[in-house]
Homo-oligomer: A and B are copies of this chain.
Amino acid sequence: MYEGAVQDLIDELGRLPGVGPKSAQRIAFHLLAEDPEDVKRLVTAITEVKARVQFCTVCGNVAQQELCQVCRDPRRSPTVICVVEEPKDVVAIERTREFRGKYHVLGGAINPIAGVGPDDLRIAQLLSRLADGQVTEVILATDPNVEGEATSTYLARLLVPMGLTVTRLASGLPVGGDLEYADEVTLGRAFEGRRRISA
């Protein structure tokens, strides 16, 4: 519909996740009208990420060196590993400031429909990190959905027989939410995981 270069850009933008044809068109016209300096900053940012960012050889998190920030940090405890699906989960957990151990990024979750099996995840790398016996606890922090639960169940079956403490993040009512709006599965989990209040 548009002349060559504009249509090419709309097509390329439309291939990004969450960007439909209308948004692609809107972003293309925004870039077209924008200051060349600002557009250059975007292009540089994309190019730099591809040139400089890699995945940590130990945990699979994003890194600008061989090891990521967390794996490089000597203050982080090497005895606890928190297993997550994606690098963005690392950022979400770091934001809580609750966890001072190391991470292991699986690179997804078991999902037979999408053709993702255990061999497609960084599970072998996790097992080799556990081989020297330094790690005492593995926290399974996969997403609380079907795929995440399946992945945690799979990992627990592997890790518990190894004599490790294996834990799963608590399910329950989200803080700040309304009890009446909680779905029945969440509310059921909150009952199941109820805690005694000591006086």
Question: Which A residues form the contact surface with B (CB < 8 A)?
Answer: 1-6, 8-9, 11-13, 15-19, 23, 25-32, 36, 38-39, 41-43, 45-50, 52-53, 62-64, 68-69, 86-88, 91, 94-95
Contacts and interface: CB of A to CB of B under 8 A. Distances in A.
Nearest to A61: B3
6 contacts: A1-B94, A3-B62, A4-B52, A5-B53, A32-B53, A39-B46
A59 to B, nearest CB: 13
Given A43-B47, A46-B42, A53 B16 contact: no
**Interface residues of chain A: helix, strand, loop or mixed (majority):** helix
Contact of A64 (B4, B26, B41, B43): B4
A43 B45 CA distance: 10
Given A32-B62, A50-B39, A19 B8 contact: no
